[in-house]
Structure 1
Amino acid sequence: MVMQNLLAILASMKVQPMDSLHRCFNPAYHEAVEHITDPQYREDEIVGVVRTGFTMDEEIIRHARVVVAN
């Protein structure tokens, strides 16, 4: 409930969380904090999010910290 209220307040200020999971790693948006080798994932696929990133009006205000498949 508190998190939903916080996200609603941020959305009213045009701040949005990044949807990074299972997307392709992009160093402009993401910071890789761990790499794993697992054949079930595509190369450079984000397989975990350690810290959610945020954008405001399409500008990055916090990079997402992610786990990336090799």
Structure 2
Amino acid sequence: MKIFLAIRDIETRTGVPINRLKWLMSAKAPEGSFPEPDAQVGIEGRVWFGWLPETVDHWHALDEFENARK
């Protein structure tokens, strides 16, 4: 079975506050600010998204690198 991370899991794993994550996932953030989900659960009504741990780790490593360059 594959394990996918929900937004709260990403907050715990990376330390990035949930409000920041929600903004990065929103249409207001620059394109490419956060990776596309690796999974979607549900088609109609309530839909959840999930990210593989390696997707989140890769994004977080790049994000920390970019922040270190500023």
Q: TM-score range by the shorter chain?
A: under 0.3
Higher share in helix: 2
Query: Which protein, 1 or 2, shows the higher relative CO under an 8 Å CA cutoff with sep ≥ 6?
Result: 1
Higher share in strand: 1
TM-score (norm 1): 0.26
Query: Of the two, which has the highest radius of gyration?
Result: 1
